[in-house]
Amino acid sequence: MDEKKDWTKLLEFGVGSLSVSGCMFILLVFFCYRKLRNFSFECVAYLTFSSMLTTISYMINYIDEEDHLKAHTKKCIAQAFMMVFLENSQYIWAMLIAYYINQAVIFFEDYHKRSHKSTRIKFLIVGYLVPLSLALVAMWRDVYGPSGRWCWIDTKDNKKENKVFSFFFYFLIWFLIFLNFMFNVKVMKYLNRQILTEREKEILNRYYKKMMIYPIIQIICILPGSINRFLQIFFNKDIFELQMIQMAFNMIQGFLYAIVYGYTYQVRKALHKTFQNICGCCFYVNRSSSVSTVDSQTLNERSYSNVSSDGSFDHHYSTRQDISVP
C-alpha cells in the first residue's frame, strides 16, 4: 500500500505541477500583454483559470482505501465541491469558446457590431454561476463523500440519489463536448461554402485540424474517468491502475488547454518580440553605453498590430480581425 501511495503522490504532484505551471504561464501572458486581450483570449483565460483550479483540487487531499471513515471531513467536502464545480466550469468554458467562434464567424456582419459587455456577463453567468449552483445543490443534498482515491460524489454509498448525481455529472460533460464538436463542425461547413483561393484553402485545412483538436482532447481526457466512475457506480469496483490513468489525464488537461487554446501564433509572436527586445537592449548596452535605447513603445505598437488569438486565420481574413480564434 505504501508503494502505491508513493507512486500516486509522484504522479499527482509531477503531472499537477506541469499543468499548473502551463496554466499560470497563459494567465501571465494574458495579464502582461494588453494588446492580446481580445474577447476570445479573455475566455481562454477563464478556461485556463478553471482548469488550473481543477488540477489543484486533485492535489489537496488523498484518501487511503482503508481510511474512508475519516473521509467525511471538511477537507473532503471541500475537494468534492471544487471538483464538481470546477470540472463542470472548464468544460462549459470550452463550449462557450466554440459557441463564440461559431457566432463570430457565421454571423459576422451582425456579431462584430455588438458590445462584448453583455456577452461577457452572460458567459460569466453560464461559465461560473451555473456550475457553482450545481455544486451547491449537490452539497445541499449531502451526496459528497469518498469515491476511489478522492472525495467526489460518494460512490461507496449505494444511495440512488448519489448514482443519479454521478450519472448527471458525466452526462453533462459529454453533452458539452458534443456541443463543442457541433459548433466547430458548423463553422467548418460555413467556411467551406465560401469562395476561396488555393492558398486560403490550405490555411483553412490547418485551421480545421486545430479546431477538431479541442473536443478530441476533451474526449481523451474524460474517457478514463467515465469508465472508472461507471465501474464505481454500477459495479462498486475500484481499479488502482484505472484511477491513476484518470488522475493523470484529468490533471494534464489544464496543460493541454494552455498549449492548444493559449499558446497561439500571436502569443508566440509576442513572446518572440519581447525576447528580441531584451536581447537587443542587452547587446546595445554591452557594446556602448552611448548608444541610444530602443523606443519600446514604438516596438510594441509595431509588434502587436492586427493582433488576434490566431494569426494564421487573420492573415487571409483581415477584414475580420475582431474574430479571434484561439
17-54 confidence digits (pLDDT tens): 999 999 999 999 999 888 888 888 899 999 999 999 99
Backbone angles phi, psi at 144, to 5 degrees: -80, 145
Q: How many CA atoms are closer than 13 Å to the CA of 128, on its beta-carbon side?
A: 13
Among residues 231, 83, 54, which one has the least CA distance to residue 148?
Answer: 231
Instruction: Write down the pLDDT at residue 83.
Output: 92
- pLDDT value at 308 more than 70: no
Amino acid at position 164, single letter = V
Q: Which residue has the cell 501572458?
A: 29
pLDDT tens profile 215-264: 888 898 989 888 887 887 777 777 878 888 888 888 888 898 888 887 77
Instruction: Write down the pLDDT at residue 320.
Output: 44
Question: Could you tell me where the beta strands, DSSP code E, fall in 24-154?
Answer: 144-147, 150-153
- Mean of pLDDT values over 117-143: 93
CATH H-level, domain 2-263: superfamily: Rhodopsin 7-helix transmembrane proteins (1.20.1070.10)
Instruction: Write down the pLDDT at residue 313.
Output: 43
227 CB-contact burial (10 Å; exposed 0-12 / middle 13-18 / buried 19+): middle
Among residues 270, 265, 273, which one has the least CA distance to residue 324?
Answer: 265
Domain ranges of the chain: 2-263
pLDDT band at residue 272 using 50, 70 and 90 as cut-offs: confident
CA separation for the pair 180, 101 (Å, rounded): 10
Instruction: Write down the pLDDT at residue 234.
Output: 75
- pLDDT value at 323 more than 90: no
Assigned C-alpha cell, 75: 477537507
Number of other CB atoms surrounding residue 133 within 10 Å: 12
Number of other CB atoms surrounding residue 129 within 10 Å: 11
Amino acid at position 19, single letter = S
pLDDT band at residue 297 using 50, 70 and 90 as cut-offs: very low
Sign of CA dihedral 302, 303, 305, 311: positive
Q: Using an 8 Å Cβ cutoff, are 26 and 258 in contact?
A: yes
- pLDDT value at 287 more than 70: no
pLDDT tens profile 42-95: 999 999 999 999 999 888 765 554 455 455 678 888 889 999 999 999 999 999
Q: Which residue has the higher pLDDT, 283 or 235?
A: 235
Instruction: Write down the pLDDT at residue 61.
Output: 61
Q: Which residues pair with 147 in a beta bridge?
A: 150
- Render 137-170 in DSSP notation, one character per residue: HHHHTT-EEEETTEEEE-SSS--HHHHHHHHHHH
Instruction: Write down the pLDDT at residue 159.
Output: 80
Q: Which residue has the higher pLDDT, 311 or 253?
A: 253
Instruction: Write down the pLDDT at residue 72.
Output: 61
CA separation for the pair 69, 117 (Å, rounded): 48
Instruction: Write down the pLDDT at residue 298.
Output: 35
Instruction: Write down the pLDDT at residue 27.
Output: 93
Q: Which residues pair with 152 in a beta bridge?
A: 145
Tell me which H or E stretch contains 44: helix 39-59
Q: Which residue has the cell 463542470?
A: 88
The mean pLDDT of the chain is: 77
Instruction: Write down the pLDDT at residue 288.
Output: 43
Q: Using an 8 Å Cβ cutoff, are 95 and 183 in contact?
A: yes
Most confident of 89-98, 182-191, 206-215: 89-98
The pTM score is 0.80
Instruction: Write down the pLDDT at residue 40.
Output: 83
Instruction: Write down the pLDDT at residue 163.
Output: 85
Assigned C-alpha cell, 324: 479571434
Instruction: Write down the pLDDT at residue 295.
Output: 39
- pLDDT value at 309 more than 50: no
83 CB-contact burial (10 Å; exposed 0-12 / middle 13-18 / buried 19+): buried
- pLDDT value at 175 more than 90: yes
pLDDT tens profile 176-187: 999 999 998 888
